[in-house]
Amino acid sequence: MEYLLLLISILLACIILNLGCKLQVFQSSKQALVVLVSLFVIGTVLDSFAVLRGYWSYSENPNFFAGIKIGALPIEEYPS
């Protein structure tokens, strides 16, 4: 659960910096969406593959996770 809160805090900090400093990394919202969705899909596939092949697991200490799983990965581990 702590890791999920950390990830949410980082996301909020990035949003605040982006809005406050008016940073422009992508030329359009559509371009940003395509890049972010592509990275999310690639990261999810690779992480799921690694878990299913047994390269690592998230069952060693379930106290570190919120307990919500989507597929093979806990919700905290989805690429952001």
Cα separation, 75 vs 1, whole angstroms: 10
Report the predicted TM-score, pTM, of the whole model to 2 decimal places. 0.58
pLDDT in tens, the chain (80 residues): 566 677 678 778 777 877 778 777 777 888 888 888 887 888 788 888 888 888 877 776 667 777 777 777 787 777 65
The secondary element (H helix, E strand) that includes residue 69 is: strand 69-70
Give residue for tokens 């992480």.
Answer: 47
| pLDDT confidence of residue 77 | 75
Question: Quick one: which of 77, 17, 8, 13 has its CA closest to 46?
Answer: 77
Tokens of 11: 């996301």
